[in-house]
Amino acid sequence: MNDSASRHAHWERSPIDGVDELSAGAFRAFMHTLHLHRRLMMQALGDTGGHPGQAICLHRLTVQDGLTQRELADTMFLAPPTVSRMLKSMEEAGLVERRPDAGDLRLARVYLTDKGRAKERELQAVTAELVNETLGALSEDDRCELTRLLDELGTHVERAAERRAGRGPGGGAEIAGEAAGGAS
C-alpha cells in the first residue's frame, strides 16, 4: 500500500465521536481530497517557484490592482501578518510594489510589477492545467453536482464561521450575552 493509500485507509478507520457515519465518511473523503489537492498544487506551483497563496494573491491583484494589505487579507481569508510576510517576499522577488495611498498616507497599496504580471500568467497556466487534469476528468453532470454540493457546503461552513465569530444567529455575542445574565 502506498503512502497516500495508507493515509486514506487511516481516515476511513477513524471514527468521529458524536458524528453519524455518513457525515463522518463525507468529512473524511473531503479532507483526504483536500490534502491531495494541496499536495498536487504545491508540487505543480513549486516547479515554477510559486506557491498557492502567491498564485491567489497575484490573481487577486490582476483582477483589482492597488488593494491594501487588509483588503488582500480579507479577500484571501488570511490573517494580515500572513499576508504581510507573503507580500514582503513577493516584493523582494520584484513581483509587487507598495505605494502610499494618495488620499490616506497611512495606507499602502499593493501593485503588480511587470514581473508579477508575467508570474501570474505562468501560475494561471499551471492552475488551468491542473483543473483540466482533475476536475475536467469528471463528467459534466458530476461537475455540476459537485459544484452544487460544494456551494451548499460553503454556505453551511460560512454560517458556522459567522456564528462562531458572533456575527450570525446563535453567534458568540448572543451566547456571551446569555452567559452574562441573559437578554437585556
pTM of structure:
0.72
Report yes or no: 123 and 58 within 8 Å, Cβ to Cβ.
yes
Report yes or no: 78 and 53 within 8 Å, Cβ to Cβ.
yes
| pLDDT at 181 exceeding the cut of 50 | no
Rounded distance, CA 84 to CA 53, Å?
A: 12
Rounded distance, CA 82 to CA 126, Å?
A: 24
Residue 159's CB: how many other CB atoms inside 10 A?
15
- Tell me the three cell numbers of residue 56: 491567489
Q: What is the pLDDT of residue 9?
A: 52
Rounded distance, CA 19 to CA 9, Å?
A: 19
CATH number of 52-137: 1.10.10.10
Q: What is the pLDDT of residue 184?
A: 32
